[in-house]
Amino acid sequence: MNVPENVIITTLKGKEVLSNPFLNKGTAFTKEEREDLGLDGLLPPRVLTLDEQANRTYEQYQMRTTNLFKNGLLNDLYNRNVVLFYRLLKDHLAEMLPIIYTPTVGEAIQTYSHTYHRSGGLYLSIDDPEGIEKAFTNLGQPNGIDLIVVTDSESILGIGDQGVGGINIAIGKLAVYTAAAGIDPSRVLPIVLDVGTNNQALVADPLYIGNKFARVRGERYDQFIDLFVQAARKFFPEVLIHWEDLGNVNARKILDKYGDKILTFNDDIQGTGAVTLAAVMSGMKITGANLKDQRIVVFGPGAGGLGIADQISDAMVLEGLSREEAYDRFWAIDYRGLLTDETPGVFNFQKPYVRKAEEVKDWDMNEDGIISLMKVVQKVKPTILIGTSGQAGAFTEEIVKEMANHVERPIILPLSNPTALTEAVPENLMKWTEGKALIATGSPFANVEYQGVSYEIGQSNNAFIFPGLGLGAIVAKAEVISKGMFAAAAYAVARMCDISTTGASLLPSIEKLHEVSKYVAIEVVNAAIHEGIARADIQDVETAIEEAMWMPEYKEIKSVGIWTNIHSYA
């Protein structure tokens, strides 16, 4: 007998059903389900609808007095009732996204060992490389996994090395994947690669539950990564692997090794780059300028900052520049000042963006031989200023005014997060540029009121990119995620942004995240098909995307005992 799509069959009974968050409906189990599944007497007698449950849970949410407590309530709800969790999130996505994701997830990560009460994925230790395959076996996922988000926790948000607690960033990302793009939550997996920690506060904490030895690097780390990738693809051959919050060097090394060979991407490098490209393209629509003519300063040229530069330079090449001409549109500045071909210790991924020392030999330097951000702004007269430095207040009034003196509509993107680390706050940027700046930020900010105009500050949030990108890649069964797929995602986000009114945001509203993610997925699938890297045979892309999107709705649940000739759900 065939099982209808809206029916779940399970071998579980009684409290086992209530303990499974993918089956549990709580008070929404019907009287027939309660009798069939052995739930009589285990629940209050009244049957509630999903709507009523969502309203009640939202009341409980509003009673929580801090964002961290709200984060804890939502995590507990997810571990109890997955459908109700995503229904609540869907109803209040703009309000709750900063709670389950940045910035509040950073607080949750920092307190992970003290608030731990339930495992949340796979914990793979570099001290037990042989245990990787055993962990995947113990996972017991007979229906498969479409998506893995994995971190080694070296560079979590703006708070650095967080050891085993970094698994919360993977859990938060996966929640956004489902809430925004409808990726089936039963087919995703968060993983932390515990390779030690250099965070001495964690090492000294008697309750820290991760490895307390120094972070492992070099060949042993590389071999561990290889073993993980091999095991993940052995168990789930078509899985999409999303890398999150790795350190600069390892992030680039892994991406260079696997990026064009398997279905994988690094969100901090490529996702951040794509959403920032979307904001820049919106700015181009406002100014009427061409991307290839821009002069761009990147303050904080780490993996994320130069991931942005990579995406923008790729787009410049599409506009007709050579690769070298595109690189020549950038100036990169870190703690060593402007990077040149004589700067010591430059990483390989930074080398395309260094300037020739001969070019700047006459520029003023400080007593340490550093060419400062201010001096670069004076000399270059940038049209776009990007901050990924984690240095709060680095875009000073003097620097911003200097930039605005030479550019009619300066695009200023202080992208560091959490909020306390932003290079400048939008209110100041508007005041210092007399309302001319085009702004997007890494953290959420309220609208800025300036001279009678309300300016909406767009958040350059990777959530506009990675959910739709992931859904599109999965539906297309893409061989890899190509530059064309990233460009398609960025342009799709830009097209979803209405910049027709004064003060309009450079990026869509978070309220439109579900709609944006669906459109991004469609464009990503189209790009994969166009490039010949889609293995799925898709006749109608929009229909394929819609059919793949999981919705937070209760299905009827029946005991396996009333069916014959079927495989059980659990």
Residue corresponding to tokens 């409808």: 182
| Amino acid letter, residue 434 | E
- Residue ranges of the alpha helices (H) in 37-124? 50-63, 67-78, 82-91, 93-100, 104-110, 112-115
On whether the CB atoms of residues 488 and 524 are closer than 8 A, the answer is: yes
Active site residues: 101, 173
Nearest to 126 by CA among 233, 239, 230, 210: 210
Tokens of 166: 């970094």
Nearest of 417, 508, 527 to residue 469 by alpha carbon: 527
- The Cα 419–Cα 102 span in angstroms is 10
Burial group, residue 520, by CB count within 10 angstroms (0-12, 13-18, 19+): buried
Residue 559, helix vs strand vs coil: strand
Phi, psi of 305, deg, nearest 5: -60, -45
> Taking each helix axis from N to C terminus, what angle separates 272-287 and 303-318, rounded to the nearest 10 degrees?
50
Of residues 319, 306, 274, 284, the one with CA closest to residue 489: 274
- The end-to-end CA distance of the chain, in Å, is 18
Question: Would you tell me how many other CB atoms lie within 10 Å of the CB of residue 48?
Answer: 16
HSE of 87 in the Cβ direction (CA atoms, 13 Å)? 19
Instruction: Determine contact, residues 155/248, Cβ cutoff 8 Å.
Output: yes
Q: Which helix (H) or strand (E) holds 136?
A: helix 131-139
Enter the tokens of residue 77: 């709800």
Strand ranges for 200-312 from DSSP E:
240-243, 264-266, 296-299
Nearest to residue 148, comparing CAs of 242, 270, 235? 242
Distance CA 190, CA 112 (A): 15
Alpha helices by DSSP H, listed for 260-389, are 272-287, 303-318, 323-327, 373-380
Q: Are the CB atoms for 113 and 165 separated by under 8 Å?
A: yes
Answer whether 493's CB lies under 8 Å from 465's CB.
yes
